[in-house]
Chain A
Amino acid sequence: MALPVRRASRPRPAAPVALLLLAGVGAAFFLIPLVGLVLRTPWASSWQQLRSPDVLTALRLSLLASFSATAIALVFGVPLAWTFARLSFPGRAVLRAVTVLPMVLPPVVGGVALLLAFGRRGLLGGWLASSLGIHLPFTTAGAILAETFVAMPFLVITVEAGLRSMDTRFEDAARTLGASRWTVLWRVTLPLVRPSLVAGAVLCWARALGEFGATITFAGNFPGRTQTMPLAVYLALESNPDAAIVLSLVLLAVSLAVLIGLRDRWLGSS
């Protein structure tokens, strides 16, 4: 007769009470702000808030800027990731460090650096304005640039890791079958690192959506032009706290969606 197999109950490891208390405080530290946000949300008027022109404008601009930044990051970041993963050349480590620096750099410093490069009197900014007529600071393009600067490293390191862990013999197989390097890249390499590409793009997009410091420093805070959601939240906190809360909730929902979408990657499969 088959008895249901029961897992042998293992004695729980004895947990020091002090440790549990500290862990509890740590968990509460993350939980309470979320609870506060949800409790203080003016649910009755939130739909109204969301439909107010100011909020809609900020939302639209945020989506435009974050998706544009992600697209730019894909176009330039994937080749960069490939270069870091597949080529070895002198100065690679330094170049790679510079590329991922914005991940740890205070965003406001990034904004200042961008001003010095692309500002009116910046390294390239003057030339861009005089010869191409392109003005980046305090424009929507500038907001996109600032978001790209801060968010692209997330894509680069994610895709690079994917490329490094991929079995490159698939590329060899494709080449023996007559595939040019370009065909190998499009039909073998990129499809095989698709999970990393998706994760990198989502991560990059989420970071771009939440970007505040570099954007406000480099692009300013002009409604309809450079005022993205985080900027609008910050501004609304004084004039219209309910709108700030609703906007925050929207951003929170997006973040949660990203976290759930990438849970296998970050939280393990359990």
Chain B
Amino acid sequence: MSLEARMRLGINAFELDVNLKVDSGEVVAVLGPNGAGKTSLLRGLAGLLPLDGGRVVLDGAVLEEPAAGVFVPSERRSIAMVFQDYLLFPHLTVLENVAFGLRSRGTARSEATATAQLWLERVGLQPEAQRRPASLSGGQAQRAALARALATNPALLLLDEPMAALDASTRVQLRRDLRRHLESFPGVRLLVTHDPVEAMAMADRIVILEHGRVLQSGSPADVTQHPRSRYVADLVGVNLFRGRASQNVITIAGGGSLMAAGATDGEVFAVVHPRTVALYRTRPDGTPRNVWEGRAVDLDFQGDRVRVRLEGTPAIVAEVTPAAARELSLDRGDPVWVVVKATEVNVYPA
């Protein structure tokens, strides 16, 4: 089973233009900032937002292809969606909520109820079967929504920010539970989130979506080690530069240059971890290749380390110990020498 989607849709000035392929063997998380188009992507797949162009194929069947005049309405797509705030029907009991999909698809009441009971058991909500959604905790509501979605045995499961409505205190446990339920689901699984931790914890593959475009796709490790956008670099907390490499010198697009060991020529990304950026009050002697003068514009004390944001060519973030910051008697606005060893510049093609 797989989902292959090429989607183009516009909402006012915003345009979503995405290619996406998800196999049933993997959990894919679409990660992006607010306004990146994540929810539009899900609504498009669910048939709640008609596409302007492209083609959505689920399990070999075309769900939507505007150019060919194909549009399968939501209620006839083999999909299920877990909404951000779960949207459990407030006027129905938990059991009736879970049975809703089956009843809507024509299953007899007794059979639908039996199946719904089974799903409630599976997610551990049987004692709550006769309660109204309003009386459930956040975690219980999430499980009820999941049971409601899975009870229809869909080919594609969409989850919109499944953890966003939960307390931080219960999130870790619930994330583990959700991951377990997702693993036992045989269909195609796609979730969207703005929370990198959630994406890393739940997904086998991460798709970075920004301004309606896919910027990057890969395993969590790959994405964090080789960010291809400022958004991801900021998420992981590293310095990301883009430029042109020639004979181990990278000319950075925004000004400045970096020497790097073993860079292939051409358009590249260069990542420098803030930990590896050294700061000096006076110009240091020695072998480092990358030395330039900057100015500290912001100091952020984060427990055992201080993140120092530096202006200069290029601008960079350094991470030093509080002791080092004290020794440097570093303050906002102070000039400082920045040093990065060429071997600490991680370069990969853009």
Chain A interface (Cβ < 8 Å from any Cβ of B)? 167, 169-170, 172-181, 183, 187-188, 191-192, 194
Nearest opposing residue in chain B for A167, CB measure:
B87
Contacts beyond the supplied A169-B83, A175-B47: 16 A-B pairs with Cβ under 8 Å = A172-B43, A172-B83, A172-B87, A173-B81, A173-B87, A174-B100, A175-B74, A176-B46, A176-B48, A177-B152, A178-B75, A179-B100, A179-B101, A179-B104, A187-B100, A192-B91
A178 CB contacts on chain B under 8 angstroms: 75-76, 101, 104-105, 152
Pairs across A and B, CB under 8 Å, 29 listed: A169-B83, A172-B46, A172-B83, A172-B87, A173-B87, A174-B89, A174-B100, A175-B47, A175-B48, A175-B73, A175-B74, A176-B46, A176-B47, A176-B75, A176-B79, A177-B80, A177-B100, A178-B76, A178-B101, A178-B104, A178-B152, A179-B75, A179-B100, A183-B104, A188-B89, A191-B89, A192-B89, A192-B90, A194-B91
B90 CB contacts on chain A under 8 angstroms: 192
Q: In the docked arrangement, what's the CA distance between A176 and B81, Å? A: 7
B148 CB contacts on chain A under 8 angstroms: 177
Nearest opposing residue in chain B for A172, CB measure:
B48
Closest Cβ of chain B to A47, distance in Å, is 43
Task: Sort A-B residue pairs by CB-CB distance and give the 9 closest, nearest first.
Answer: A177-B101, A179-B104, A175-B74, A178-B105, A173-B87, A178-B104, A191-B91, A176-B81, A175-B75
Q: In the docked arrangement, what's the CA distance between A173 and B48, Å? A: 10
Q: In the docked arrangement, what's the CA distance between A194 and B87, Å? A: 18
Closest Cβ of chain B to A3, distance in Å, is 34
Q: In the docked arrangement, what's the CA distance between A172 and B73, Å? A: 11
Closest Cβ of chain B to A180, distance in Å, is 6
Q: In the docked arrangement, what's the CA distance between A142 and B91, Å? A: 39
Q: In the docked arrangement, what's the CA distance between A167 and B89, Å? A: 11
A177 CB contacts on chain B under 8 angstroms: 75, 80, 100-101, 104, 148-149, 152
Q: In the docked arrangement, what's the CA distance between A89 and B13, Å? A: 23
Q: In the docked arrangement, what's the CA distance between A30 and B34, Å? A: 55
Closest Cβ of chain A to B199, distance in Å, is 22
A176 CB contacts on chain B under 8 angstroms: 46-48, 74-75, 77, 79-81
Closest Cβ of chain B to A162, distance in Å, is 14
Q: For chain A, what secondary structure do more than half of its interface residues adopt (helix, strand, loop), or is it mixed?
A: helix
A179 CB contacts on chain B under 8 angstroms: 75, 100-101, 104
* Contact present for A180 and B87 (CB under 8 Å): no
* Contact present for A174 and B83 (CB under 8 Å): no
Q: In the docked arrangement, what's the CA distance between A194 and B48, Å? A: 25
Closest Cβ of chain A to B194, distance in Å, is 18
Nearest opposing residue in chain B for A179, CB measure:
B104
Q: In the docked arrangement, what's the CA distance between A194 and B91, Å? A: 10
B46 CB contacts on chain A under 8 angstroms: 172, 176
Closest Cβ of chain B to A108, distance in Å, is 42
Nearest opposing residue in chain B for A175, CB measure:
B74
* Contact present for B83 and A173 (CB under 8 Å): yes
Residue of B48, B75, B83 near A180 (CB, 8 A) is B75
Max chain A Cβ within 10 angstroms of own Cβ: one of B43, B81, B89: B89
B81 CB contacts on chain A under 8 angstroms: 173, 176
Mark B61-87 against chain A: 1 for CB-CB distance below 8 A, else 0: 000000000000111110111010001
B74 CB contacts on chain A under 8 angstroms: 172, 175-176
Using A169-B83, A172-B48, A175-B48 as known contacts, say yes or no to A180 and B104 having CB atoms under 8 A apart: yes
Q: In the docked arrangement, what's the CA distance between A175 and B75, Å? A: 5
B80 CB contacts on chain A under 8 angstroms: 176-177
Closest Cβ of chain B to A169, distance in Å, is 6
Q: In the docked arrangement, what's the CA distance between A64 and B47, Å? A: 47
Closest Cβ of chain B to A230, distance in Å, is 37
Closest Cβ of chain B to A183, distance in Å, is 5
A175 CB contacts on chain B under 8 angstroms: 47-48, 73-75
Max chain B Cβ within 10 angstroms of own Cβ: one of A167, A169, A172, A183: A172
Residue of B47, B87, B101 near A169 (CB, 8 A) is B87
Closest Cβ of chain B to A168, distance in Å, is 10
Closest Cβ of chain A to B105, distance in Å, is 4
